[in-house]
């Protein structure tokens, strides 16, 4: 081990391309890569889902570890990310992780009943790394979201903690809330079950534990770091976050240009960049054919790729779909989640064949093709910690329409007359969670779509923006050093 390098264990419940349900998976692949390029010895720790074990090139198996009396012994596996050099530690405990279904839910969409133990165990293994119980001795344990948020609490109560903890919050709306019996199950002392601790209205909140006990807290955009200190967006933890604001930093996510780049994207019919932007049209034609949409250059094609949850604002879109179709646009939606929303969208698609396409499910290839093939990308989120698709859209010459919230407000520059004049505009921004405002904003965008010179300028401005991870990865490195140097 090169001891002069900064040593970081990056803990997460998902990481592309092994397992991904949303942006967390993208970030937990791209950020460690960016850190390694800046000479940080960063290694990942993931749960041993079947997909992870099957797709990793495994190189080593460590001895079994007994952590909880009623649980089978756990093996720590070590592998290498496919096509990468990032070492990955895997918590191998088949009874907890090897199941049919998703990382957090069964096939019917119900949360796994033992999620407290499943992610308590992940957090516990991360804490053992923080106690330097293994060969790799990290100086920082970087936790991501509630599934890893017990680690800072375990280390705060440990007499052998040798690492500092960073708690990155990708979404306040998911806290990991369980019954009080969890405290004992996951091996925390009873005194942690306290309002000055992880107690949350008589229950245990994993995320509160992370926010309360971590040395530093980050969120995935500067604006969301402010948002979550308010009652509206704080999900009951705004006061705690305000108390800890000296340790709270918003660091904007980047995008992985090896995966999301129209010039090299392996999923596209035709690659393109700012010099041959006209080739984007070919991807639109191919997408229309694939989705069985009418081929017409006159109609703008609007895309959405999204988890179908309350957060993403689909309820603002549904009521205006008939009006949009009437006004001459086409819509391509890829998403999955809430069954009522899925059914509603499918019913609308059946009413408007050739004009509206709805694909229910998770489809990585189609997601790239929608980014490249659509003209406008819609993200009317009620809240958005960062959002990646608006950045993918801008770099694919697809103009985003977003609500002014969280990371969307930090990344999209509204097409006001002044911003257009100064060649700064990259998209359209509306304020309130209101279908009429969204409709008005969409109408403005459609009008501008027909003004080719201005549209082209919006595309070029977005495509030349730097959304790479470099800058943000450097901010994380400063934070790591700051944590190490602070008692």
Cα Rg, the chain, nearest whole Å: 23
Bridge partners (DSSP) of residue 430 are 403
* Residue tagged 């901010």 (tokens): 475
256 in contact with ligand ADP (CB under 6 A) = no
Cis peptide bond upstream of 460, omega within 30:
no
Contacts by 415-424, CB closer than 8 A, 24 or more apart = 415/444, 415/445, 415/448, 415/454, 415/458, 420/454, 420/457, 420/458, 423/457, 423/461, 424/461
Cβ-contact 168, 155 below 8 angstroms: no
Q: How far is the CB of 12 from ligand GLC (least distance, A)?
A: 11
Which of 7, 12, 23, 441 binds ligand GLC (CB under 6 A)? It is 23
DSSP string covering 272-315:
--GGGGGGHHHHHHHHHHHTT----SSSPEEEEEEEESGGGTHH
Nearer to ligand GLC, 23 or 373 (CB): 23
Total binding residues toward ligand ADP, as defined by CB under 6 A: 18
Total binding residues toward ligand GLC, as defined by CB under 6 A: 14
List the one residue out of 421, 407, 476 whose CA is nearest residue 453.
Answer: 421
Q: How far is the CB of 311 from ligand GLC (least distance, A)?
A: 6
Q: How far is the CB of 254 from ligand GLC (least distance, A)?
A: 10
Which of 130, 387, 400, 462 binds ligand ADP (CB under 6 A)? It is 387
Q: How far is the CB of 89 from ligand GLC (least distance, A)?
A: 22
389 contact, one of ligand GLC, ligand ADP, none, CB 5-8 Å limit per kind: ligand ADP
364 contact, one of ligand ADP, ligand GLC, none, CB 5-8 Å limit per kind: ligand ADP
* Residue tagged 């895309």 (tokens): 303
| Maximum Cα–Cα distance across the chain | 68
14 in contact with ligand GLC (CB under 6 A) = no
473 in contact with ligand GLC (CB under 6 A) = no
334 in contact with ligand ADP (CB under 6 A) = yes
267 in contact with ligand ADP (CB under 6 A) = no
293-312 binders of ligand ADP (CB under 6 A): 305-307
16-75 binders of ligand ADP (CB under 6 A): 22-24, 26
387 in contact with ligand GLC (CB under 6 A) = yes
Which of 13, 186, 317, 386 binds ligand GLC (CB under 6 A)? It is 386
List the one residue out of 440, 439, 444 whose CA is nearest residue 427.
Answer: 444
Nearer to ligand GLC, 288 or 382 (CB): 382
Q: How far apart are CA 13 and CA 119, in angstroms?
A: 8
Q: How far is the CB of 102 from ligand ADP (least distance, A)?
A: 12
250 in contact with ligand ADP (CB under 6 A) = no
Which of 8, 18, 19, 24 binds ligand GLC (CB under 6 A)? It is 24
Q: What is the DSSP letter of 105?
A: B
What separation, in Å, do the N-terminal and C-terminal C-alpha atoms of the chain show?
25
List the one residue out of 64, 137, 59, 124 whose CA is nearest residue 94.
Answer: 64
84 in contact with ligand ADP (CB under 6 A) = no
Q: How far apart are CA 52 and CA 22, in angstroms?
A: 16
220 in contact with ligand GLC (CB under 6 A) = yes
Which of 120, 176, 262, 385 binds ligand GLC (CB under 6 A)? It is 385
235-254 binders of ligand GLC (CB under 6 A): 253
Q: How far apart are CA 487 and CA 485, in angstroms?
A: 7
Token code pair at residue 198 = 């992880």
Nearer to ligand GLC, 170 or 280 (CB): 170
Q: How far is the CB of 14 from ligand GLC (least distance, A)?
A: 10
135-194 binders of ligand GLC (CB under 6 A): 170-171
At residue 477, what are phi and psi to the nearest 5 degrees? -65, -40
Interface positions with ligand GLC (CB under 6 A): 22-24, 27, 170-171, 220, 253, 384-388, 407
Binding footprint of ligand ADP on the chain (CB under 6 A): 22-24, 26, 305-307, 334-336, 362-364, 367, 386-389
């Amino acid at each position: 081990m090169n001891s002069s390098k900064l040593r970081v264990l990056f803990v997460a419940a998902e990481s592309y391309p092994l397992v991904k349900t949303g942006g967390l998976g993208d970030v937990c692949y791209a950020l460690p890569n960016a850190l390694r390029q800046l000479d940080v010895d960063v290694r990942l720790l993931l749960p041993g889902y079947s997909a992870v074990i099957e797709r990793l090139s495994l190189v080593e198996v460590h001895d079994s570890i007994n952590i909880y009396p009623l649980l089978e012994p756990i093996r720590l596996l070590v592998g290498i990310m496919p096509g990468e050099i990032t070492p990955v530690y895997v918590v191998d405990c088949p009874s907890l992780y090897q199941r049919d279904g998703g990382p957090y839910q069964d096939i019917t969409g119900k949360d796994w009943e033992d999620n407290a133990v499943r992610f308590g165990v992940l957090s516990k293994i991360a804490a053992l790394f923080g106690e330097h119980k293994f060969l790799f001795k990290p100086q920082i344990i970087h936790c991501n979201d509630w599934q890893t948020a017990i680690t800072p609490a375990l280390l705060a109560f440990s007499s052998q903690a040798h690492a500092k903890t960073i708690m990155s919050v990708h979404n306040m709306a998911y806290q990991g809330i369980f019954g009080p019996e969890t405290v004992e199950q996951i091996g925390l002392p009873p005194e942690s079950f306290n309002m000055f601790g992880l107690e949350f209205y008589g229950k245990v909140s994993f995320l509160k534990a992370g926010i309360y006990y971590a040395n530093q807290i980050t969120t995935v955009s500067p604006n969301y770091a402010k948002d979550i200190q308010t009652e509206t967006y704080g999900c009951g933890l705004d006061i705690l976050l305000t108390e800890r604001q000296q340790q709270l930093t918003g660091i904007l996510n980047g995008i992985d240009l090896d995966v999301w780049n129209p010039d090299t994207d392996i999923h596209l019919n035709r690659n393109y960049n700012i010099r041959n932007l006209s080739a984007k049209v070919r991807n639109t034609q191919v997408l229309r054919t694939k989705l069985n949409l009418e081929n017409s250059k006159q109609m703008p094609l609007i895309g959405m790729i999204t988890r179908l949850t309350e957060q993403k604002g689909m309820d603002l879109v549904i009521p205006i779909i008939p009006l949009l179709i009437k006004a001459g646009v086409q819509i391509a939606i890829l998403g999955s989640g809430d069954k009522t929303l899925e059914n509603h969208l499918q019913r609308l698609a059946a009413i408007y064949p050739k004009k509206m396409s709805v694909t229910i499910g998770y489809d990585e290839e189609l997601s790239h093709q929608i980014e490249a093939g659509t003209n406008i990308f819609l993200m009317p989120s009620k809240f958005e910690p960062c959002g990646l698709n608006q950045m993918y859209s801008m770099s694919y010459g697809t103009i985003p329409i977003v609500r002014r919230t969280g990371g969307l407000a930090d990344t999209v520059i509204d097409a006001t007359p002044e911003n257009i004049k100064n060649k700064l505009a990259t998209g359209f921004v509306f304020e309130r969670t209101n279908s009429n405002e969204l409709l008005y904003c969409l109408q403005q965008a459609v009008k501008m779509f027909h003004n080719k010179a201005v549209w082209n300028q919006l595309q070029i401005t977005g495509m030349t923006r730097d959304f790479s991870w470099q800058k943000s990865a450097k901010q994380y490195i400063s934070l790591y050093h700051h944590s190490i140097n602070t008692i």
